[in-house]
Amino acid sequence: MSEQKNERVKVTVAVTGGIAAYKAVEVVRQLQDSGLDPHVIMTRAAEEFVRPLTFAAITGHKVITSLWSDDAGAQPNGTGEPPSPEHSSVEHIREAQTTAALIVVPATADILAKFAHGIADDFLTTMYLATSAPVIVAPAMNVVMWQHPAVQANLETLRQRGVRIVEPGSGYLACGMVGGGRLAEESSIVAAVAEVLSRTTTSAHDLTGETILITAGGTREPIDPVRFIGNRSSGKMGYALAAEAAHRGARVILISAPTSLPAPPSCEIVHVTTAEEMRSAVLAHLPEATLVIMAAAVSDYRVVNAASQKLRREGPRTLSLEPTQDILHELVSQKKPNTLVIGFAAETEDVLANGRAKLTRKGADAIVANDVSGDRTGFDSNQNAGWFITPAETIEVPTTSKTRMAALILDQAHKLRTARVPAS
């Protein structure tokens, strides 16, 4: 077990003194679930909202609360040996050099100002100046404070320095007001961390020259004007693939079924609803694509003769269904010879065997098979796991964030592309 723990990537979560500090507990837990090893530091003000013991119990690590350790100069156990690194008075340097990312949640107006102006008067602000790791901040504050020109100017300064800002949402605030400044959802913060970490470990622009067509979300088949047959797909896997591909230099055409996710940057988005609309959009853009990734959960059936008006409750009702077109099979038969096609197989049993069978049946270049029967991976989760299956090999992808899994899938796609290019 200890060897597995050492393989987890260390990140540092800094908790500052705002009412949203309690939400940092869930952020830490979700970071652990995504395969990371969070260490926590707290400002003095943060301790007024959450006790350090809470984070220590969750992470199994000492929580840093001060720049000055009570036993910084002590000789442990009376041995005459120097203090261990974790008790060093320069611990902020060690923490800054050993972390993969610094995540500040919540980020108060005070801490944003100190970061922007280089003030180093406690452990967190000193570590911020000493680290070269990426920094992610999730602001949370009163709506009037959030809108203040000074706060917005500090945020702009941090953006220009490369700090990732996880924008707050709008809603009811602890002060009783309604508006912006509410801490972003914990899952959004964790997704931002995964995206930043992924981009520090993948080759930049290795997909330049590729036009990647990606489908995402779950299609909906109407029963009547207000009801539909659908599935649990959130679109998170497809959107993570689109964002990662765009970051790595590809032109991305994202064909998206309904989802609540924000649009990935630098992508061309085509919105569709039904399986037939997705089919038409895929085939229309297929000639442009050098790589197609079918991550959407497309309905296998649609209602025959959907009602034109809302159906009334009148006792039992039987719906007549007919199969939709098999988009993956059709595009494989119509694609250009040099276009790679990767499909997804969402399974609830015999995942690997069913994935291999689908690869053979569809004629794709690869299939990503994943288990969607649980609640920790698959549909509507921030994590995923499965297998990347080709005719030549099967590669297991252990449980990780969907952002990281997107990077791994694109790594394999790049390898397939490279293998097809004849040696010069």
Verify whether residue 231 is a known catalytic residue: yes
Is the pLDDT at 82 greater than 80? The verdict is no
pLDDT tens, residue by residue, 90-133: 666 788 889 999 999 999 999 999 999 999 999 999 999 999 89
The predicted-structure confidence for 255-292, as pLDDT tens digits, reads as follows 999 998 888 888 999 999 999 999 999 999 999 999 99
pLDDT band at 182 (very low <50, low <70, confident <90, very high): confident
For residue 252, what pLDDT band results from cuts at 50, 70 and 90? very high
Q: Is 214 helix (H, G, I), strand (E, B) or coil?
A: strand
From 231, 338, 354, 384, active-site residue: 231
Q: Above pLDDT 90, what percent of the chain? A: 67
Q: For 72-142, where are the alpha helices, taking DSSP H only?
A: 91-98, 109-117, 123-130
Q: Give the range among 1-5, 11-15, 263-267, 404-408 with minimum mean pLDDT.
A: 1-5
**pLDDT on residue 180:** 67
Give the per-residue pLDDT at 69.
61
Annotated domain spans of the chain: 2-197, 205-420
Task: Judge whether residue 3 has pLDDT over 60.
Answer: no
Q: Please give the Cα distance from 105 to 128 (Å, whole number).
A: 14
Question: What gap in Å lies between CA 416 and CA 46, rounded to an integer?
Answer: 49
What percent of the chain lies above the pLDDT cut of 70? 88
For 37, the enclosing helix (H) or strand (E) is strand 36-42
What integer pLDDT is reported at residue 181 of this predicted model? 82
pLDDT exceeds 60 at position 88: no
DSSP class of residue 95 equals H
What's the CATH code, domain 2-197? 3.40.50.1950
User: Which pLDDT score is estimated for 78?
Assistant: 41
Ramachandran sector of residue 305 (left: φ over 0; alpha: ψ -120 to 50; beta: rest): left
| pLDDT of res. 197 | 84
Tell me the CATH architecture of domain 205-420. 3-Layer(aba) Sandwich (3.40)
3-state secondary structure of 316: coil
49-59 mean pLDDT: 95
Most confident of 85-94, 177-186, 381-390: 381-390
The chain-wide mean pLDDT, for the chain, equals 88
Would you say the CATH fold of 205-420 matches that of 2-197? yes
